[in-house]
Amino acid sequence: MKSPRTASQHLSPVIAEAAPAPDDAAGPGAPLQAPPADVLPPGAAPPVESLDDTLGEESFRAMDRTVAASVVMLTGGLSPSALGLAAMDWWIHLAAAPGKRTELAVKAARKASRLMAHMAAATVAKDQPPCIEPLPGDHRFRAEGWRVPPFSVYEQAFLLTQQWWHNVTHEVPGVSPHHEDVMSFVARQWLDVASPSNFPLTNPEVLARTAETGGANFVEGFRNWTQDVARAATGRPPVGAEAFQPGRTVAVTPGEVVYRNALIELIQYAPTTEAVAAEPVLLVPAWIMKYYILDLSPVNSLIRYLVAQGRTVFCISWRNPTGADRDVSLDDYRRLGVMAALDAVEAIAPGRKVHAAGYCLGGTLLAIAAAAMGRAGDRRLASATLLAAQTDFSEPGELALFVDDSQVYALDSMMWLKGYLSADQMAGAFQLLRSNDLVWSRRVRDYLMGDRAPMTDLMAWNADATRMPYRMHAEYLKRLYLDNDLAAGRFVVDGRPVALQNIRVPLFVVATERDHVAPWRSVYKIQHLADTAVTFLLTSGGHNAGIVSEPGATGRHFRVTTKSAEDLCAGPDEWAATATAKAGSWWPEWRAWLDASSGAARVSPPPMGAPAKGYPPLGPAPGTYVF
């Protein structure tokens, strides 16, 4: 990827071999002449004739990127070209499929007939069973008021229409699967907007609240709306987030920053037991989020839990990049992040192997680092734990809606112009994936019902988002999401491709059942890629709440199995059908696995930092980069 420097910084000498000189050619010392275009090697481009030509080419590309960036910023990060290509693919194939169109007409007539029958029955008895039920996870129509006409008619008509549009956008002969998913996503967005639950006159809950409060709910809702608009305009966090400040109410586990470079602060946590396991734990969070997802409130802090179990814990806190960091690469995150942290841990706890654990993008980066270490014979790792982290991106889930060549070019151009991908643009994409839950249901509650959901530590952390530098994120989207280089063995580190088969330590892999960022079936694929023992654990919850799963919380369960390098691989659905469910948090299961992967000896905790080796304590946790 080229950064918008001057064109001369990107130029390299063009060396062209001259064709064999004819008998009457100039003698030795004459300038080399490029061969005619018709004798250039196949696929070779004609040589650059002048600096002016290259400068002009760079200017043209900059013009293209500026226009693309301007357009995509107006569309909320979505590429109109990508949407147009999907719509054209769908429309052309639907127009050429008379059988599919006839099927849709028949289904529309059947649904209309079912709705009319339901309406007729509801006029006789109001407790008629519905003719269609909402999809699992759709909680918009749970209230009893939706069982009574006319609201039951509104609900049933909407759900039947929603089902019909699913038929319209799926199984159209010839449409590419990606374009099918995009069109289904677009249809779902419009349907979520038009849901009867979003309008006061068609929502029985809103009408009941209005009658109960005499319209005060709308006054409160308007106040909530003005607060949200004012905070968004001034860049302030949501209402209530001020109660969760790192170092005061969250991220309060005692520790010291023992290393800092341009990209990370490394935090070493104070021991709470007289003796600790010899092998320390290094946590590598994702740089798309602040590290303290792993150290929220004391009751649900994974870091505090590990320290209480007699573990020496180190955690990376990533610096939030700015436009000046536009050229920070994905490999910089490996070198200045994982490898620099390992060097520091080795200096502070010499001679001890390290249990490394990476969350989300941090897990993907840890897998890359572990594979490169295996190839290089670096044996400092005792194990690697991947938390909701993908290594094979061939089926990345709903985020694939935003990843194709057109969309990546649009995002790349926007990042090229600004130097980074902003937090609000990433948050917008995630909200669109679950617009029913994260957008419209919230607006109904806040603005029509006049309620405010109480702020939680997890919600406040989620609002404390970060940016991502241009070059790193462009490489990540292109090399991992689009080209799937890591799973294919094409991802290059230090000039050589790395292979996940080179990981030489046992793996503990955690996936979550309702993860729309790293779907569990995608996370599961590490078992087909690694030639080492893999313990795979599937826990309840989503991408964040499934990982923050403290012991004692109700309603938690998980399934776990271990596959040795010699065992046969099973498909994800086959695995799910045979793995036995266990109640409770998965944290004790991981702790027991760490114990089994560690030496039996307990040792005195290492000192805080190693000043003599260049790692002095630099200040108390949570450090400065978290702010």
Grouping H, G, I as helix, E, B as strand and the rest as coil, residue 479 is helix
Residues 270-294, mean pLDDT to the nearest whole number: 96
Do 593 and 538 fall into the same domain? yes
pLDDT at 271 over 50: yes
pLDDT of residue 243: 93
pLDDT of residue 425: 64
In a domain, 466, yes or no: no
Do 297 and 321 fall into the same domain? yes
Sheet holding 354-359, edge to edge: 581-583, 557-563, 534-539, 507-512, 381-387, 354-359, 281-284, 313-318, 264-269, 255-260, 619-620
Positive or negative: CA dihedral 258, 260, 266, 269: positive
257 or 413: which carries more pLDDT confidence?
Answer: 257
Q: Cα dist. 429→5, 78, 330, 372, 421 in Å?
A: 29, 9, 22, 32, 12
DSSP state letters, 90-124? HHHHHHT-HHHHHHHHHHHHHHHHHHHHHHHHHHH
Grouping H, G, I as helix, E, B as strand and the rest as coil, residue 255 is strand
In a domain, 190, yes or no: yes
What is residue 615's DSSP assignment?
Answer: B
Q: Which residues contact 430 (CB under 8 A, 6 or more apart)?
A: 438, 517
Q: Among all chains, which residue has been given the structure tokens 């099927």?
A: 103
Do 356 and 501 fall into the same domain? yes
Q: Among all chains, which residue has been given the structure tokens 């910084």?
A: 9
pLDDT at 66 over 90: no
Long-range contacts of 58-64 (CB under 8 A, 24+ apart): 58/7, 58/10, 59/7, 62/4, 64/413
pLDDT tens column, 177-202: 989 999 998 999 899 999 999 999 99
pLDDT of residue 31: 40
Residues 61-77, mean pLDDT to the nearest whole number: 76
What percentage of the chain has pLDDT greater than the value 90? 68
pLDDT of residue 393: 92
Could you tell me if 3 and 327 are in contact, meaning their C-beta atoms sit under 8 angstroms apart?
Answer: yes
Residues 216-226, mean pLDDT to the nearest whole number: 96
Q: Among all chains, which residue has been given the structure tokens 């320390």?
A: 280
Instruction: Give the closest residue to 168 by CA, choosing from 195, 194, 186, 141.
Output: 186
In a domain, 595, yes or no: yes
pLDDT tens column, 118-128: 898 888 877 77
Domain of 130 in residue numbering reads as 81-197
pLDDT of residue 52: 59
pLDDT tens column, 422-461: 766 666 566 666 666 667 888 999 999 999 988 999 999 9
Residues 36-45, mean pLDDT to the nearest whole number: 49
pLDDT tens column, 147-179: 988 999 999 999 999 999 999 999 999 999 989
Preceding amide of 622 cis, omega within 30: yes
Residues 52-57, mean pLDDT to the nearest whole number: 63
In a domain, 502, yes or no: yes
pLDDT tens column, 348-364: 999 999 999 999 999 99
pLDDT at 23 over 60: no
Q: Place 234 in a pLDDT band, splitting at 50, 70 and 90.
A: confident
Instruction: Give the closest residue to 164 by CA, choosing from 98, 91, 103.
Output: 103
pLDDT of residue 15: 32
Q: How far is C-alpha 1 from the chain's CA centre?
A: 22
Do 432 and 447 fall into the same domain? yes
Q: How many CB atoms lie within 10 A of CB 289?
A: 22
- What is the dihedral angle through the alpha carbons of 373, 572, 483, 82, rounded to the nearest 10 degrees? -140
Do 160 and 110 fall into the same domain? yes
In a domain, 432, yes or no: yes
User: What residues does 619 pair with on adjacent strands?
Assistant: 257
pLDDT of residue 504: 93
Please give the biggest Cα pair distance in the chain.
105
418 by Cβ neighbours in 10 Å (0-12 / 13-18 / 19+) ranks as middle
Residue 502: which CATH number? 3.40.50.1820
Could you tell me if 277 and 598 are in contact, meaning their C-beta atoms sit under 8 angstroms apart?
Answer: yes
In a domain, 477, yes or no: no
Residue type, 370: A
Q: For 250, phi and psi rounded to 5 degrees?
A: -125, 160
DSSP state letters, 239-253? TTGGG--BTTTBS-S
Residues 377-400, mean pLDDT to the nearest whole number: 92
* Arithmetic mean of pLDDT over the chain: 87
Do 348 and 495 fall into the same domain? yes
Q: Cα dist. 510→235, 252, 502, 523, 558 in Å?
A: 34, 25, 20, 8, 10
Do 156 and 269 fall into the same domain? no
Residues 377-403, mean pLDDT to the nearest whole number: 90
Query: How many structural domains compose the chain?
Result: 3
Do 93 and 188 fall into the same domain? yes
Reported as type and span, the H/E element at residue 315 is strand 313-318
pLDDT of residue 575: 95
Paired sense of beta strands 496-497 and 492-493, if any: antiparallel
pLDDT tens column, 479-531: 998 899 999 999 999 999 999 999 999 999 999 999 988 999 999 999 999 99
Query: In whole angstroms, what is the distance from residue 257 CA to residue 237 CA?
Result: 26
In a domain, 73, yes or no: no
pLDDT of residue 32: 39
Vertex 199: Cα angle to 196 and 202 (nearest 5): 55
pLDDT of residue 112: 96
Do 152 and 213 fall into the same domain? no
76-90, 371-385, 514-528: which has the minimum mean pLDDT? Answer: 76-90
Could you tell me if 277 and 239 are in contact, meaning their C-beta atoms sit under 8 angstroms apart?
Answer: no
pLDDT tens column, 579-626: 999 999 999 999 999 999 999 889 999 999 999 999 999 999 999 999
Do 445 and 559 fall into the same domain? no
Catalytic member of 131, 315, 360, 569 = 360
What percentage of the chain has pLDDT greater than the value 70? 88
pLDDT of residue 426: 63
Q: Which residues contact 54 (CB under 8 A, 6 or more apart)?
A: 7, 11, 48
Q: Place 232 in a pLDDT band, splitting at 50, 70 and 90.
A: confident
| Residues composing the chain | 627
Q: Among all chains, which residue has been given the structure tokens 């008629």?
A: 128
pLDDT of residue 363: 97
pLDDT of residue 3: 42
pLDDT at 552 over 80: yes
Q: Cα dist. 54→7, 9, 32, 323 in Å?
A: 7, 11, 21, 26
Catalytic annotation on 315?
no
Dig out the tokens for 152 from the structure: 């039951």
Do 314 and 357 fall into the same domain? yes
Query: In whole angstroms, what is the distance from residue 540 CA to residue 586 CA?
Result: 9
490: left (phi over 0), alpha (psi -120 to 50) or beta: alpha
pLDDT of residue 124: 81
Residues 49-63, mean pLDDT to the nearest whole number: 69
Reported as type and span, the H/E element at residue 52 is helix 51-74
Positive or negative: CA dihedral 89, 430, 406, 368: negative
Do 259 and 230 fall into the same domain? no
In a domain, 163, yes or no: yes
pLDDT of residue 35: 41
Q: What is the 3-state secondary structure (H, E, C) of 533-600?
A: CEEEEEECCCCCCCCCCCCCCCCCEEEEEEECCCCCCCCHHHHHHHCCEEECCCHHHHHHHHHHCCCC
